[in-house]
């Protein structure tokens, strides 16, 4: 029973971080669709702040051994790749 609880905590930590990364992606997508352009300083600021918040969460989870450094790095890398795709798509339209 207890090992399952411990295991589910690391799974939950990863799932929460992934969900937070997806929330950022969604927020940026909504911003792009409706409000501002990627060149807008406000957009940059929102993105920087959100990425900083996520990086603090990930760093915290890594320090607690809930996710590995590699997993944390992959979460950030994957989010950045998806944001780049969004940027490129926005510039094409």
Alpha-carbon gap, residue 82 to 58, rounded angstroms: 18
What is the rounded distance in angstroms from the CA atom of residue 32 to the CA atom of residue 13?
Answer: 29
- Does 75 contact a copy of itself by CB under 8 A? no
Q: Are 58 and 72 in contact (CB under 8 A)?
A: yes
User: Which of 12, 26, 81, 87: binder of a copy of itself (CB under 8 A)?
Assistant: 12
> On the CB side of 54, how many CA atoms lie within 13 Å of its CA?
27
Binding mask 15-54 for a copy of itself (x = CB under 8 A): -xx--x----------------------------x--xxx
Span of 1-9, 27-35, 69-77, 80-88 interacting with a copy of itself by CB under 8 A: 1-9
CB of 79 to a copy of itself, least distance (A): 15
In sequence order, what E strands does 29-79 have?
none
> Does the protein bind a copy of itself through residue 63 (CB under 8 A)?
yes
């Amino acid at each position: 029973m207890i090992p399952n609880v411990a295991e589910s905590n690391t799974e939950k930590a990863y799932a929460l971080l992934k969900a937070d990364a997806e929330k950022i992606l969604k927020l940026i997508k909504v911003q792009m669709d409706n409000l501002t352009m990627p060149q807008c300083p406000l957009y940059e600021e929102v993105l920087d702040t959100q990425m900083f918040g996520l990086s603090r969460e990930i760093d915290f989870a890594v320090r607690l051994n809930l996710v590995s450094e590699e997993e944390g790095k992959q979460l950030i890398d994957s989010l950045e790749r998806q944001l780049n795709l969004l940027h490129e798509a926005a510039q094409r339209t």
